[in-house]
């Protein structure tokens, strides 16, 4: 099984997000989305989200291309997940 992972905030989900997730899923069998936590967005990305993490997670989990949503908590995580 080929697993694919992508990262993002996915705040105010839109067509571009759906298209990205669809294309990512086409690259493998199992799509993992590392969703930026509210704390990571605020302290590291300097972004304030419209929707809280749990709301954004629920939205992503309802998309048919997404198999698993995990929290993104640091920039270092991208290196460790590889």
Number of H helices, E strands in the chain: 4, 3
Q: Residue 5, exposed/middle/buried by CB under 10 A (0-12, 13-18, 19+)?
A: middle
Look up 2 and say whether it is catalytic. Answer: no
The single residue of 25, 45, 57, 78 carrying the catalytic annotation is 45
The single residue of 47, 48, 57, 78 carrying the catalytic annotation is 47
Look up 45 and say whether it is catalytic. Answer: yes
d(CA 30, CA 41): 25
Q: Which residues are catalytic?
A: 45, 47
């Amino acid at each position: 099984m080929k697993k694919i992972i992508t990262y993002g905030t996915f705040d105010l989900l839109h067509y571009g997000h759906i298209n990205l997730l669809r294309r990512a899923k086409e690259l493998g069998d199992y799509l993992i989305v590392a969703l930026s936590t509210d704390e990571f967005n605020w302290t590291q990305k300097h972004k304030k989200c419209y929707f809280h993490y749990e709301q954004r997670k629920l939205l992503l989990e309802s998309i048919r291309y997404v198999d698993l949503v995990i929290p993104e908590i640091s920039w270092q995580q991208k290196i460790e997940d590889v």
